[in-house]
């Protein structure tokens, strides 16, 4: 029987709807053989997911999705097979988490000034322990019926150029690659089709990028083919995933991307190579 994986999933450790355990269970029900949890700028969902995978007999690959910015554009860098985070890595994550909080505080204040009566406490309660972000603000707006959907909240208020938007401190993609490599992880550019900047990919490859997310719900057939070819051309690893957030993000669902297990084998081979280099 064909084995398949989903290497891009969010839990409530960042802005996903479900807990790591619930995400693993859902993936199990859909027949996935391997998964990775890739929460935004945090590793806090990893242990719970790893345990749940062990119980159900799913292969678990540790992961993260780091939000970065380059020339004003948002670039997401995935990291896989991360080893225990070192001090540099944890310090950066704490910095990112703190800046997320500060930024959301400012966004709530802006929205209040605009007449949207939502409280920071409520947004924080929605985020729980997880890395707080705009989807949590969107949910607070939805709960108060200021918008009809999370999508509407983003379109009207929370995207760049909208009245409620505040940018936040972000590292650049080159730093993210360094951080991931620093803990023997495999850096992969997430959904490159969204920005479609081949020039940047070329620069990132020179800086140590090892893979491209070819299959993603925001890639149509043309973009999928383009990035598949690019991966072959640069001899990069190929990944894919649904970017599932539960109901916190529309336009995707668990099960819509089924990455052939042969790509997991290739990732594992690369990981082995990296470990050999690190420890000899």
Distance CA 151, CA 268 (A): 37
Work out how close the CB of 32 gets to Zn ion at its nearest, in angstroms, rounded to a whole number: 17
* 109-143 per-residue burial string, b: 16 or more CB within 10 A, e: under 16: ebbeeeebebebebbbebbeebbbbbbbbbbbbbe
- Comparing every residue's Cβ against ligand AMP, the nearest one is 133
**Cα separation, 241 vs 6, whole angstroms:** 5
CA 25 to chain centroid, in Å, comes to 19
Which residue in the set 20, 135, 185, 217 belongs to the binding site for ligand AMP (CB under 6 A)?
135
Q: Are 100 and 131 in contact (CB under 8 A)?
A: yes
Q: Report 140-169 residues binding ligand AMP (CB under 6 A).
A: 150-151, 154
The C-alpha angle 275, 68, 156, rounded to 5 degrees, equals: 145
- Among Zn ion, ligand AMP, Fe ion, none, residue 67 binds (CB under 5-8 Å by kind): ligand AMP
Nearer to ligand AMP, 65 or 230 (CB): 65
**Which positions from 154 through 193 interact with Fe ion, judged by CB under 5 A?**
190
Instruction: Return the number of the residue (133 or 164) whose C-beta is nearest ligand AMP.
Output: 133
| Residue 139 interacting with Fe ion (CB under 5 A) | no
* Contact assessment for residue 75 and residue 183, using Cβ atoms and an 8 Å cutoff: no
Q: Is 191 in the site for ligand AMP (CB under 6 A)?
A: no
Binding of residue 243 to Zn ion (CB under 5 A): yes
Is 39 an interacting residue with respect to ligand AMP (CB under 6 A)? no
**Would you say 264 and 34 are in contact if contact means Cβ atoms under 8 Å apart?**
yes
Among 92, 134, 139, 258, which residue interacts with ligand AMP (rule: CB under 6 A)?
134
Subset of residues 238 to 277 that bind ligand AMP, contact rule: CB under 6 A: 245, 249
């Amino acid at each position: 029987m064909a084995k398949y994986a989903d290497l891009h999933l969010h839990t409530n450790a960042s802005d996903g709807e479900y807990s790591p355990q619930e995400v693993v269970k859902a993936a199990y029900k859909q027949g996935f053989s391997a998964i990775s949890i890739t929460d935004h700028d945090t590793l806090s969902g990893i242990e719970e997911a790893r345990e749940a995978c062990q119980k159900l007999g799913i292969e678990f690959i540790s992961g993260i999705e780091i939000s970065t910015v380059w020339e004003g554009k948002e670039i997401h860098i995935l990291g896989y097979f991360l080893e225990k985070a070192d001090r540099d890595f944890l310090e950066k994550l704490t910095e990112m988490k703190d800046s997320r909080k500060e930024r959301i505080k400012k966004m709530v204040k802006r929205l209040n000034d605009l007449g949207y009566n939502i409280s920071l406490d409520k947004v924080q309660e929605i985020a729980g322990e997880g890395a707080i972000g705009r989807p949590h603000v969107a949910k607070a707006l939805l709960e108060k019926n200021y918008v009809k959907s999370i999508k509407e909240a983003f379109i009207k208020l929370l995207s760049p150029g909208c009245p409620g938007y505040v940018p936040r401190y972000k590292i650049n993609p080159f730093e993210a690659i360094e951080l991931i490599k620093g803990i023997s992880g495999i850096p992969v550019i997430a959904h490159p089709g969204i920005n479609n900047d081949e020039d940047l990919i070329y620069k990132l490859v020179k800086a140590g990028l090892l893979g491209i997310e070819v299959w993603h719900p925001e890639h149509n057939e043309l973009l999928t083919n383009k990035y598949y070819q690019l991966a072959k051309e640069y001899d990069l690893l190929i990944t894919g995933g649904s970017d599932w957030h539960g109901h916190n993000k529309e336009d995707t669902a668990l099960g819509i991307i089924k990455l052939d297990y042969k790509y997991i084998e290739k990732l594992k081979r690369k990981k082995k190579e990296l470990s050999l280099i690190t420890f000899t």
